[in-house]
Amino acid sequence: MLTAMLAALLGGIILNVMPCVFPIVSLKALGLMRHDGDAASARTEGIGFLLGTLAAMMVLAGILLAIRAGGSAVGWGFQLQSPLVIAALALVILGAALNLLGVFEVGLSMQRAGEIAIGRGAFLRSALTGALAIVVATPCSAPFMAGAIGYALVQPPAVALAIFFALAVGFAAPFTLISLFPALARRLPRPGPWMGIVKRALAFPMFGAYAWLVWVLAQQAGSTALATLLAGSVVLSFAAWLYGMAQQRQMLGRGYRLMYAATALLVLAVIAPLPGVMKPADAPQVARQTQAPMVWSPQAVAENRGHGRAIFVNFTASWCITCQVNDKTSLSTAAVKSALARTGTLYMVADSTKFNADIDDAMSQFGQGGLPLYVVYPADGGKPQVLPQVLTPAIVVNALAQAAGKKA
């Protein structure tokens, strides 16, 4: 258990530099720089971020364990198999990007209410940022995480929650430590006008995350859901602009309540149709991979295993960023394609973009709590080999050669 907790802690720390959450964590670092010389405000933001991270992780872990207790073998990132969650997350990310560009401000009215209100607003914003960071972190898988989560999912609830708690602590640790210890905070760059430029620049990685979520939704739910989300995004953007205008009028002492009411109605108009439209498409859309792969199933593996041909299984999903990176940097390279052909390896894809109970069961059997997962079955029917979650062409080529009993 201690080893798994340590692995989860290290995985959480490394998760800070993964592409899923780096823009959000960078934004919080800018927030700390604004508190230069104000240790109390920095501590408030740090503690808020820590508590928001822990709360979100415990909620996600609790839901995950409850679903598994009910007989479904779901894993890390399970919520991203729901088109409704993808759509909601995309709209939240879009709103965050518009906020970074200055279309509207969060907590502007609080900033006029005095020092205490500022502190409360900073704490709440930091807690919500921590919670959002945990949710958007699930498509990424950092080193040490897979084994720790896989171990947690087969343990009693108390042990599992302790491991997820360690993961959340590791994730929040860098930001929280900097906020609590002024000596560390003094190593950060001095605040200045450059911070506003960087803040606006960070909106564009957020727009990138939004575009990626839109693409994932198209894979999961089809054209009708995609059209609904795009239309809702336009309405939400207009609502954000209207809200920003209302804030400016409020600051100038002019009428603003009608504009706030209109904003609320527009947001409701965006949210209302989502539950009825955001449903998985009838026909599964398998992500395109290399070498025209066979669709994975337990039966397909059983029928082909041990008949003189190695099998390579790629457990993947459209929403898994690490999976997509590995596909582009390793699985789609000429070296790997050549190795697949040379060794006569049967290439299978297990696409978990939408929920598939067989895939989740297979991942649990390999002790893996999340994607990606790469398994190589030897040609002689021997024990399968699980490859690292971060691939290189050399790792794949050598594994294929070993499984086929041929030189790389």
Amino acid at 18: M
Residue 302 in tokens: 């059983």
Q: Which of the 8 DSSP states describes residue 119?
A: H
Cα–Cα nearest to 350, from 318, 392, 378: 318
Torsion angle defined by CA atoms of residues 45, 46, 52 and 55, in that order, rounded to the nearest 10 degrees: -150
Report CA-CA distances (Å) from 109 to 92, 199, 246, 249, 262: 21, 21, 11, 11, 18
CA angle centred on 147, ends 145 and 151, rounded to 5°: 115
Does residue 180 come out as left (phi exceeding 0), alpha (psi in the -120 to 50 range) or beta?
Answer: alpha
Cα–Cα nearest to 381, from 299, 306, 302, 304: 306
Residue 313: in which H helix or E strand, if any? strand 311-316
Helix (H, G, I), strand (E, B) or coil at 370: strand
CB 116 within 8 A of CB 246: no
Give the pLDDT of residue 119.
46
Residues 6+ apart with CB under 8 A from 397: 335, 336, 339, 408
Rounded distance between C-alpha atoms, residue 16 and residue 35, angstroms: 21
Cα–Cα nearest to 122, from 32, 199, 198, 26: 32
Q: What is the pLDDT along the chain (408 residues), one digit of tens a residue?
A: 788 889 889 888 888 777 666 667 666 666 666 666 667 878 888 899 999 999 999 998 898 888 777 766 566 666 777 899 889 989 988 998 898 898 988 654 433 333 333 445 678 888 888 888 887 776 666 556 666 777 787 788 899 899 999 999 999 998 888 888 877 767 766 767 777 787 888 888 889 889 988 998 998 888 899 999 999 999 999 999 999 999 999 888 888 899 999 999 999 999 999 998 888 875 444 444 445 689 999 999 999 999 999 999 999 998 888 898 899 999 999 999 999 999 999 999 999 988 888 998 899 889 887 889 999 999 999 999 999 988 999 999 999 999 998 765
The model's pTM: 0.65
Residues 6+ apart with CB under 8 A from 90: 210, 213, 214, 217, 229, 233
Give the pLDDT of residue 113.
31
Amino acid at 214: V
Q: In CATH, what number does 294-404 get?
A: 3.40.30.10
In degrees rounded to 5, what are phi and psi of residue 316?
-145, 180
How many Cα neighbours within 13 Å face the side chain of 194?
5
Domain residue spans of the chain: 2-277, 294-404
Report CA-CA distances (Å) from 58 to 66, 160, 196, 251, 265: 12, 10, 34, 39, 33
